[in-house]
Amino acid sequence: MSDPATAAPYAFRQLEEPRPVSLREIEDPIANAHAEAERIREEARAQGYADGQAAALAAAQPPLEAALAALQQAVAGVEQVRDETAAAVERDAIELSLQLAEKIVAGALAVESERIVDVVRGALRRLAERRRVTILVHPDDLETVRAATESFVTGLGGIEHCEVQAERRITPGGASVRTEEGQIDATVSTQLMRARELVELELGE
C-alpha cells in the first residue's frame, strides 16, 4: 500500500478560461422574445377586434333591419300623404274651376239671353220622339224661348205641339224638355255636373 504522503496528487482537468460574452449576445434573445410577445399580443388584439366587430354586427342586425323597415314604411307614408294631398288639391281645383265656370256661364247668359234658344234647340235635337213637347225655363227666359218656338217647329221637324212654361227651380240659361216618353235635362247645373263627371273619369277617380 502506498504511502499517502508519497502518493501522486489528484489530477484535475484543466478548465478553459471563460470566453468573454458580448452585450449583443445577451440583448438579442431578449429583444426577440419581446418582439414575439408583441406579435402574439397584436394577433390576439386583431382577432379580438374582428370577433368583437362580427359579434356587434350580428347583434345589431335585427335592429338595423327593423330600422330599415321603419324607414321604408316612413317613406311610403310620406308618399301616401303626398299623393292624398295632391289628389285633394286636384279635387279642390276641379271644384273651384266648375264653380267658376258656372259663374261665367251665368254671367254670359245674363248678358246674352238669346243663348237659351241654342240650349233648348240642342235639347230638342236629342229627343227621339218630339211630337208633343213641353219646354220648362226660368221666368226670365220665358219670353225669349216663346218667341223662338216657331223656329223650333219649322227647323227641327216632327213637332206638332210645343208649349213653353216658366219654372223658377230652373236656373237662368237652362231648360228641361218633357215629352210623353221622357225628359231631357238641359239645366246649367246638370251640364256642369256632367262636365265634373267627365273630368273625374278622365282623372281615374
Q: Looking up cell 216618353, which residue turns up? A: 181
Q: What is the pLDDT of residues 156-203, one digit of tens each?
A: 888 889 999 999 998 888 899 998 888 888 887 777 777 767 766 766
Length of the chain: 205
Asked if 142 and 136 touch (Cβ cutoff 8 Å), the reply is: no
Q: What is the pLDDT of residues 91-144, one digit of tens each?
A: 777 677 766 766 666 666 555 667 889 889 988 988 888 889 999 999 999 999
* pLDDT of 11 over the 60 cut: no
Q: Strand 175-178 and strand 183-185: pairing? A: antiparallel
Side chain identity at 125, as an amino acid letter?
A: R
CA torsion 17-21-22-25 (nearest 10°) is 150
Q: Is 0.75 topped by the overall pTM?
A: no
Q: Report DSSP state, residue 141.
A: G
pLDDT given for residue 106 in this prediction: 62
Domains along the chain?
Answer: 112-203 (3.30.2320.30)
